[in-house]
Each structure stands twice: as C-alpha cells, then as structure tokens.
Chain A
Amino acid sequence: MDEMDEIVQEFLVESHENLDQLDRDLVALEQQPDSRDLLASIFRTIHTIKGTSGFLAFGQLESVTHVGENLLARLRDGKMRMTPETTDVLLAMVDTVRELLAAIEADGTEGDVDVTSVVARVTAVLEGRAPAAPVEAVVDPVLDPAVDLPVTSAEVAEESREPVEPEPAVAEPVALEDVAPELPPAVPAPAPVAAAEVREPEVVETVEPVESVDAAGPQDAAEGKTKRNLAESSIRVDVDLLDSLMRLVGELVLTRNQIVRQAGEQAGGELNGAAQRLNLIATELQEGVMKTRMQPMDHLWAKLPRVVRDLGAICGKKVSLDMFGRETELDRSLLESVKDPLTHLVRNAVDHGLESPEQRRAAGKPEEGLLTLRAYHEGGQVVVEVSDDGAGIDPARVAAKAVERGLRTQGQIDAMTQGDLLQLIFLPGFSTAAAVTNVSGRGVGMDVVRTNIEAIGGTIEVESVLGRGTTCRLRIPLTLAIVPALTVECSGDRYAIPQVSLLELVALDADRAAAEVEDVNGAPVYRLRGDLLPLVNLAEVLHVESERSDGHVLIAVLQAEGRRFGLVIDRVLSTEEIVVKPLTTRLKAVGAFSGATILGDGRVALILDVQSLARNALSQEALEHGATGRESTVESTLASEQVSMLIAGIGGGRRVAIPLSSVTRLEQVPTSSVEVVGSREVVQYRGSILPLLRLDSHLGAMSERHGEDLAMVVYTAGGRSVAIVVDEIVDIVDEDTRSRSDIDDHGLLGSTLIRDRIVEVLDVRSAILAADPRFFVDADEADPYEAQLEGAL
C-alpha cells in the first residue's frame, strides 16, 4: 500500500466516496425512477470512474463501468425506463466496481475479480432481454454488506448464508460460494473487524480457504486495525471547521502566553513546570492544526504546464517548464490567494519574458526558453520564484516609461539605481498591457500582483539581468492567523509590527541620537552603516504625543515595497506570536493598521500596516534618497564580465563614463554641507573629511545642477576617499569597448558610444589626483588618518 501510486490512492478514496453516494442515489432512484437529476449524477460518477480507470489501465474496471455507463446513458436520455430489474443490475454493477476497487487497494491490481457475468447481465438489460427473476434474490444479499458496511458479522453471515441455498442463477456464483463457507468462523471475531473482512473473501477469490479462515482469527484482528481502508484513513473536513479550530488554537496560544508570563513572574516550581508543559503542548497543537490546513504547492502548479504550453503555442514560443519544490506546503487559504498572482507571473514570463525562437537563436541561446518555478521554505516563509532565461528587463526603458507616464520625474530617476528602477514596474499605473509589451516588455498588471501578495502579508521582488532573464520572487507567510511580531510602545499604547517587515532595531542614546540623526531638508535621516535611512516618527504619523523625552531614539528598521525606512518608536517591548484579528472596514480605512491582536496581558494592540505606513508617511523622494547609496555596490556585481560604467551627466549635455570599479558608492549630500579648507572643497563624511572634485570644472563644463544637494561618486582606496561631484547619475551600463575612440582631452581616456550617445571616459586617476594629489602616494605608507588629514589639507 505504501508504494501505491498517489494517483491510484486518490482515485480510490474518491471512488469510495462516489460509490457511497451512488448507492443512495440508486435507492432514491427506485422511488422516483424518472428523476433526470439522479440519473445524471449516477451517470457522472460511473463516467468518472470509467475515465480514470481507463487512464490508470484497469481494464476490468473499465469494461464494467463502460457497459454500466451505456445503460445509464440510455436511462438518462429517456430511451429506457427504470425497472426493478435495471436497478438490480446497476446495483450489481456497483458491487462489482467495489470489489475491483477493493482488489486494487489490496495489491494494486484488479486481482481475479470476474466481471463477465455482470457485463453479460447489463448487456442483457441493454438489449432488452429481461434477466431471470431469481437474480434478484442473489443480488440483494450480496449488496447488503456492501451498502451497509458496518453490519455486525453475525447478521452478515446469516444473510449471506440464506441465499446460498437457493443459489439458482448464474450471477457470481463463485463469489457467493466463497463467502458462505468462510463466514461462520468469522462470527466470534469482534464485530467491526469482521464486518470489514466480510468483503475480503468476496474479492480475493483465489485466496486459499485456510488462509481466509485464519484471517478471521485474533491475529488478523490486529492486522485489520493497522491496515485501514484508504477511505477510512483520510476524511474530508469542512474548511470552516478547520478555521474555527485554528481560531481556538490561536486563543490557546494567547492564554498560554499569559500563563507563561505570570508563571515566570511568580518563580514557583510547580506552576512553572506546568506552564512549560502547556507551552510545549500548545506549540505542538498549533503546529498540528496548522498542518491540517497545509497543502502542497503542487495543487497550484498542477495546471501550470498546460497554461505554459497553451500560451507558448499562442505566442509562438518554445517553452520548457521546470518545477522544483512541488511538495512545499502552504496554508490552504494562502495557496488560494497566491494562485492568481502566480499564474499572472507565469503568463507574463512566457508572454513577455521569453523571446521568440528566432531572437533566442540570434542571441546565442537554445531555441527553447526555460521557465523555472521554485518553492522552498526560508526563515518561516515560503518563497516562490518564477524565473525565465529570457531577455530580461531593461531598467532604462522602465525608467523612460515611468517618466513618460508621469510617475517619476527625470531627476528622481537619475538618482535611482538599477535595482530600484526595476521595482518601478510595481507602481500602479505603470503600465497597460499594450504599452508595456512594446516598451519594457514586462510589468502587465504587476501592481495588482504586488497588491495581492502584500494583502496576505507577503512581499514581491524582481531581479533581472539584461539578456539573461528575470526572476520574480514571492515571499509568503506560512499562515495568516498566527504571525511572529515585535511589540513596541508609542505614546503609552502598544503596537505590533509583523516580523516579516522588520530588518533590525537600532537604539541610540541621547548623545548619539543628537549627532547621528541628521536632517535632509527637514526630513530626518539616520546613517545606517553609511547609508541614509529615512526616519518616520510613529507618534507623528499617528498624531499622538511621544512619551520619550530623554532624547533616546529607538529605530525599527523596516522594509516594505522593496524599500527601507526607520520607524521611530518610544520603546521596544518584546517579540511574541500574535493572532491576527481582522478589523472592521471602518478601521481598515484609517490606513495605518492591518489588524488587531490580543497581547499576553489581555490588552488589545493594533498591528501596524507597514506597507501603508511606507506609502503614506514617506514621500517617494525620501524613500529613494534612502535607497540610493545602498544598491550601488550590489549592482556593480551584475554582469561583471564586461566593463561596467557609471554614466554621469556633468552639464552642457556632456556625459562621462566612470568605471564602476572605481566607484565605492553613490551619495547625496546637502550643498550647504560643503566647507572649504584652503583652496579645496571638502565635506564631512562618516566622521572624516572628504575632498571634493567638481567634475564639471575639472573637465571644463558648466554645471546645470542648482539643487539643494550634490550627487557624489565616492571612491575609496587604502583608507582614503575622494568624492567626484557630478550633475546627475544617468545609468550604469556594460561598455562595449570596440566602439571606443582615443580622441582624448585633458582628464579623459577617450570617448565611446553608449546607446547612440557619445560618452567621455573619465581618466579616474587624474581626476582623483586633482582632488587629492597624494591619494596614491601615501595610501600604503602613512597612517590612514594622518594621510587623510594631510591629503585634505
């Protein structure tokens, strides 16, 4: 039974259920022989079994159901009328189907069940030959144990024995003969076991009588227990019931939290021990109940090969689909919520991600595109990836589209990195199908996908390498009902922040807070390991008064919609598992809370909606400032085979390429922070003095940037840094060196063509020397701090 194919098992369970229904239907049909509904329902059941058995190569089963189906079709279509004879024949057919199913369940084959007599009888009815009257007598007793399974063995034995004596007709004489002599020994055995075994002799006719008799003995009673019928070992449960169980377990978890907390405070031996056990049991129970709601990813994926095949055919593309992690399990309700977004992503990948066979050939790829689905557990979440090896998304086109659609200004785009640009496809209104197909090639309804995923507490991110493909990654919580969360305090109220959004916590004492929480034109930021993190004060967002007056600043670093920000809170309390209680629509409309929960002390706490906070509290500008520096180093590792160039504008329409290898990071500083030391401009940067080189004056151009901040390209080597000030960061590209010319000028290595524009290639060394003449000389020998100071002076 273990090695039995999963499909066969499912078929058996399903068929057993269907047959039970069938018995009821057939009996009901006798009362109302003209009911089309009943006939149609019976027909469907038999038809399903016939179809599946044909597919699974159970020939006997197929032939029985086939004649049965023919008969039912005629009845359904009104070509024949139900008579007691037809009912009998149909019931006999159902019994034979049962026998066959039982045989399949026992050893995976149809055994030696004889179907010819039933087939003959059905055919006789079909052909209008009335079956012999006594048949009825034979059929009924056979039916009884089958229809009414839990009869006690005594009854079964009696009923079975009686008809044996008249034993007139042809129908299944073998089966009956076997049943009769074997049953009497079964009588003393415990009733339920015996009842279950009654069917065994009927089915496995070849079994030696000795064995069968033994089977009724006590030794086999135990076997009967372990060897449960498939239909008995799995049951169908109403999802609502599971939901309410889940809720109850949620309550239990809360109560457990309360008791564990109080027991901990009282430091009493016995109570503490009991609380610990309760803790363990509640956790196990929680896991167990959650498991009942789990379903493998395969439920979703099963229909994707078809979707991919059909779509590939429509688009004229060859696609092969690889799926890994089909068995990864996910809460049923979440699985439902993921279905549409996932299908959307897959369709997108085939429709827009993969190129046509010709394009693929031209690009030196195999004609057949590869679509890979991956699912795995990671850090209490389920990750689902949809990857294609197609053309990838061109960030420049995404950027152009965003500007064209008025979603971002060119200035904002310029300040963004490639990674950020890609995330623009998730913006509402970024695309309509037609517009995108010919522009960026992706992004159809991606905002809807993101909204759906975030609605279930998940996240989505996209990665793409131009020419090599795109990966969309969904991160989905295992369950919605219970989530780990951080509880924080603000203005005396408690709030819960789902852990999934939380990256880290930063605590600053008053001195550090005063020094390190800075201000970009009124927007507070904190330098988190050198990158500017925009800060959002929760008290301000919620229009409440912060209770923190000692100058300490606590920052919860959160991630939402692919961006980071710091939420300033009064106090961090603890992490605990919370049960999410839905809010009324009116409270949802507030936009700051995604739900409520009851904490260990019984108080209600609101769950912060991090996504809404990110959307509402932060202007997009602030978010992008925060993200600018962070991605640059990451991006430089992409496509490392070619020389990656940072393209910067320096005014007068001139563009300069700076090898990305000479770029440590990109920063923006307020213009007002530029100070002058001697004849050089410097800024304070991470506690040291950073010499500035204005590239426009270095290369004889005229800056056109009059903003309140400067775009800096920072280069660090050997403990020294210089900052090259440019007008705008345009892009990062992989340079094609063949088109480079050696027409050069002061400070340049030459020029090259990048996207049909002439771009000057910066001589980085001379530029750095112009900013810091001793940059390369002293780097190795002198004490870095000394050298830096000297260089600055």
Chain B
Amino acid sequence: MSTTVTAVSADASVGHRRLVTFTLHGSTYGVSVEAVQEVLRGQMRTRIPLAPPGLAGLINLRGQVLTAIDLREQLGLPARSTDAGEPMLVVVRVAGEPVALLVDSIGAVVDVGAGQFEPPPDTLSGPSRELIRGAYKLEGELLLDLDVERAAAA
C-alpha cells in the first residue's frame, strides 16, 4: 500500500517504459507499472446516485473507500454487456490517492521502447482523444497509452 509512485512522465515518448496492459472493448491499453498499486477482481460496488456516469461506484479496499471509474464511459466506448462477466479493477494511484479503474480483462506486463511510440492519429476524436497519449506498435496489435490522471479525473 505504501509503495511510492513516481509521477508518470508527461512526455511518454521518451525512453523505455514498462506498462501494465488491459483490454477494453477489444482494444489493449497500458498504464505505467509504477502507477499501478494492485489488480482486483469481483469487488462489490456501491453505486452513487446522482453522480456523473463515469463514477462507477465505491469499493471497499481493506477498509479504504475507493472510487471506481468506468473507463468505458470515460473513453466513450459502449457500455459493458451484462453477460461479459464481472469487470476487473486496476487500482492506480493518482495524486497519491488510490482510484480503481474498471477494465474488461488484464493482460501481461509489457516492456516498450520509445521507438515503438507514435502520437495518436489526427483522426482520433471524441472523449478518448483527451485520454490517449498515443500508441505503441506491438506485433499484431497496438498498445494504447492511457493518461491515467485524466482518465481518473474526468
């Protein structure tokens, strides 16, 4: 719980990074491994009436109340179908506070280099334009670099 989190460099294109990957609506996203505190499954969520739709509820993480963020909502993706099973939770620390991100499934930890990075295409629009810093070109797929701070703050 007390792992110190180094701020994610805003200029993500520089240098070598290690990313925790997860999927949302068939795409693969990544966040810096330093920002990730833990990954959880099947947490009971308490919904928050009147709250903005991106706030998917509150969860109890060992006595701490965490806000859960629905990334699909934040990225403007279609809502999770009910038969898709329980979403996974990626607990990240944003400005020192833990926040839980709802994702479809968890993938591997991937090492990426600056050479693989490209900024988002100009055709990318909508809410995700703000939240995706760019893409790492992996073999056979693109790994989208998620701006955690913005995704959690929206």
Contact = CB atoms under 8 A, between A and B. Distances in A.
A586 B63 contact: no
B79 interface: no
Interface string A565-609: 000000000000000010010110011110011100011111000
Interface stretch (B5-13, B51-59, B132-140): B51-59
Contact of A254 (B46, B63, B67): B63
A604 B60 contact: yes
B51 A587 contact: yes
B55 A586 contact: yes
A606 B58 contact: yes
B2 to A, nearest CB: 12
B129 interface: no
B50 A598 contact: no
B52 A586 contact: yes
A433 interface: no
Interface string B100-123: 000000000000000000000000
A586 B67 CA distance: 10
Interface residues of A, number: 23
Nearest to B51: A590
Contact of B48 (A251, A587, A597): A587
A596 B64 CA distance: 10
Contacts of B47: 493
Given A251-B63, A596-B65, A602 B49 contact: no
B46 A590 contact: no
B44 interface: yes
A314 interface: no
Contacts of A542: 49-50
A544 interface: yes
A543 interface: yes
Contacts of A581: 64-65
Interface string A622-660: 000000000000000000000000000000000000000
Interface in B8-23: none
A680 B49 CA distance: 51
Contact of B46 (A543, A544, A586, A603): A603
A136 B133 CA distance: 72
A253 to B, nearest CB: 11
A598 B65 contact: yes
A581 B67 CA distance: 12
Contacts of A590: 48-51
A544 B67 CA distance: 20
A592 B67 CA distance: 16
Given A544-B49, A586-B55, A602 B44 contact: yes
Contacts of B58: 596, 604, 606
A543 to B, nearest CB: 6
B49 A592 contact: yes
A494, A598, A602: most-surrounded residue (chain B CB, <10 A): A598
Contacts of A251: 63
B50, B64, B97 interface centre (most CB from chain A within 10 Å): B50
B146 to A, nearest CB: 19
A604 B55 contact: no
10 contacts: A590-B48, A596-B65, A597-B65, A598-B60, A598-B63, A602-B44, A603-B44, A603-B60, A606-B46, A606-B48
Given A590-B49, A593-B48, 13 more contacts: A251-B63, A494-B46, A543-B50, A581-B64, A586-B52, A587-B51, A596-B65, A598-B63, A602-B44, A602-B60, A604-B44, A604-B57, A604-B58
Interface of B: 44-52, 55, 57-60, 63-65, 67, 97
Nearest 8 A/B pairs, CB to CB = A542-B49, A604-B46, A604-B58, A581-B65, A251-B63, A596-B65, A590-B50, A598-B60
